[in-house]
Structure 1
Amino acid sequence: MKKILAGLMVAAALTGCASKEEKPLDSTENKIKIGVTQIVEHPSLDQIRQGVEDAVRESQFGERVVFDFQNAQGDFVTAQSIAEQFDRTTDMMVAITTPSAQAAQNKISDKPVFFTGVTNPAGAGLGAENVTGISDMSPVEDQVKLIVDLLPEARRVGTVYNTGEANSVFLTEEFTKAANEYGLEVVARGVTNVNEVATAMDTFKGNVDVIYTTKDNTVASAYSLIVSKADEGKIPVIGATRDFTEMGALASAGTSEYDAGYQTGQMIVRYLAGEEMTNLPIENVENIEVTFNAEKAKIYSVNTEDMEKNGVEIIK
């Protein structure tokens, strides 16, 4: 890996003092090839990828970087094949989501791998010497505080999660711990697929004061149903991402997918500028964004004027 970095730095030095006889900036030898892969095509993951690319392109290395994007189409075997390909054809790799990061770590040992969009890196076994990145761990305590501040009368919180998604199980456990510390009782309903969500939601009617929706692929896929069921029972929904606010939650507090990608891109720039991988430990997303749904705020009598003045985004 040191040889790769040395080669890139030599190329950068040559570019900085290029003469007429030297190769132009856009020659193949002067390019930095970055392979980017994500497990599926999804708007949130696309935002992460955009953040990565923007941060790198805005840097001093921007004109020299070539991104090669590959989508695993939801298949882990394909994700491993992509990692093997990138090991042969690129200088480094960006892996978006936990499965892609695990596939990259399995197949690449002597090139830098930067992951992003990973909730629980330690739980996923990530952290080889050539692997680092950004965790988008949900700020569960901020989400609990949002519930307490907006709905001070709430005592019981309902939540649905997929028992087969390790990240979802982990986040549900962490949210429950945080909620209990604030005196809230969590009523969790585990499901295995989208078809079970409706039944789980029906158990919340008259039984909980608020519904919390964690970052979970099954929950995201059934979100319109979740909001519809919650509306029927006149139960406000607090979400873990901006997307959930846009889809009908009263409010959300969570990490920005774009910011997660941008912070990853900044880490890559630091590496290209000469920092060793050992000096680039795994980081959490720094920025937390709070969003409110204007329509739902009216329904549940939440005054958003002061929030808007303080920079909280109100989604109309």
Structure 2
Amino acid sequence: MKQLLAILASSALLMLAACGSGNEETSGEASEKKTVKIGITQIVEHPSLDSAREGFIAALKDAGYEEGKNLKIDFQNAQGDMNNNMSIAQNLAADKNDLILAIATASAQSVVQSTKDIPILFTAITDPVGAELVESMEKPGGNATGTSDTHPDAIKNTIDSIKMFVPDAKKVGIIYNDGEPNSVVNVKHAKEAIEAAGLEAVETTISTSSEVKQAAESLVGRADVFYIPKDNTVVSALESVLNVANEKDIPAFVGESDSVKRGGFASYGFEYHDLGYSTGQMAVEILEGKKPSEIPVGYPESLELVINKKAAEEQGVTLTDEMLKDAKVVGE
């Protein structure tokens, strides 16, 4: 009898030990995520693209992926150089990252060309379908998806606001890099909106940021207002345009809210940090098993009019209470 009781006690201890071991393993798996490696390529640094990247990383952190712990990020900036841009894409593909984030159209196109095996997310893209990054917005197909920064009404609303803020304006000066596919699309939509508003577009193109100031100066006397689209080359040197706008009293309408904060006069826009955050949430889904082809492309859901009050003063715009009533005002 004593022998039987000893055997039963021993068996009970073994079962408890086994249960304890299993609980510890389950608990460990629940509390710790595996270490992941993400490559990030960005065509050029400027506040909007930087904010998108910061939002992406913030979403990962909120989901439990944190740099220095279980997240390794390899961030590379092409500095506007297309050859460098392609080399970065190829290196990130060869480095066997768990996921690659491409910020801006040129970066995304290079990454999509470089790998069909690694999941790709993109953000700050004007036209994902036109850029051949996805098959459609609803069903991306392939190994890429992400977020577009083109709200259907953003350009039209900004152009329409010209008539409210500068009633006597007739000609809209546009500066853009015609080598950026996203800019070509943006300018096409802007010209359609300009014509519909009864205005005339006056274009000048550049290929590098060093040409931006001269381009702005060439529009003095030919344009009543500036419109700066979401062009990475121009926006990276936006202060060159704004210096001319301030000196010559030419209101500078811009393509996104961050450029208003930097001294542009007005835009209908959104926060790029939020756009990047949404992209980061997609990254979490992919890291936890979902395929890019299963995630529809996202885009900003709302717009707000943003006005820089200081820029209005410097660029010769007289603001009324009626103009400001529905706007977010910065630069006070």
How much has 1:25 moved relative to structure 2? 4.8
Return closer, same or farther for 1:136/1:233 CA change in 2, 3 Å cut-off.
Answer: same
Alignment of 1:179 onto 2:194: yes
Alignment of 1:146 onto 2:161: yes
Equivalent position of 1:313 in the other structure: 329
Letter in 1 for 2:110: A
Equivalent position of 1:269 in the other structure: 284
Equivalent position of 2:28 in the other structure: 24
Alignment of 1:70 onto 2:75: yes
Contact 2:46 2:235 in 1 (8 A): no
Equivalent position of 1:121 in the other structure: 128
Aligned partners of 1:124 and 1:152: how far apart in 2? Answer: 36
Contact 2:102 2:120 in 1 (8 A): yes
Equivalent position of 1:6 in the other structure: none
Return closer, same or farther for 1:56/1:140 CA change in 2, 3 Å cut-off.
Answer: same
Aligned residue pairs, count: 296
Alignment of 1:303 onto 2:316: no
Return closer, same or farther for 1:28/1:224 CA change in 2, 3 Å cut-off.
Answer: same
Identity of aligned residues (%): 33
Letter in 1 for 2:87: T
User: Please, which runs of 5 or more residues in structure 2 have no aligned partner?
Assistant: 1-20, 135-140
RMSD: 3.0
- Normalising by structure 1, report the TM-score: 0.80
SS in 2 for 1:95: strand
Contact 2:59 2:277 in 1 (8 A): yes
Cα deviations by residue, 1:20-43 (Å, 9 ceiling, x for unpaired): 245835999733443333234444
Aligned partners of 1:39 and 1:250: how far apart in 2? Answer: 25
Aligned partners of 2:55 and 2:111: how far apart in 1? Answer: 20
Aligned partners of 1:220 and 1:278: how far apart in 2? Answer: 32
Contact 1:291 1:315 in 2 (8 A): no
Equivalent position of 2:102 in the other structure: 95
Aligned partners of 1:179 and 1:53: how far apart in 2? Answer: 37
Contact 2:304 2:327 in 1 (8 A): no
How much has 1:65 moved relative to structure 2? 5.3
- Normalising by structure 2, report the TM-score: 0.77
How much has 1:145 moved relative to structure 2? 2.4
Q: What are the residue-to-residue correspondences of 1:270-285 with 2, within 5 Å?
A: 270-272=285-287, 275-285=290-300
Return closer, same or farther for 1:21/1:243 CA change in 2, 3 Å cut-off.
Answer: closer
Equivalent position of 2:3 in the other structure: none
Equivalent position of 2:118 in the other structure: 111
Aligned partners of 2:76 and 2:287: how far apart in 1? Answer: 25
Match of 1:54 among 45, 58, 63: 58
Q: Which moved more, 1:186-195 or 1:45-54?
A: 186-195
Contact 1:54 1:262 in 2 (8 A): yes
Equivalent position of 2:309 in the other structure: 294
How much has 1:141 moved relative to structure 2? 1.0
Aligned partners of 2:98 and 2:211: how far apart in 1? Answer: 44
Q: Which moved more, 1:141-150 or 1:195-204?
A: 195-204
Larger radius of gyration: 2
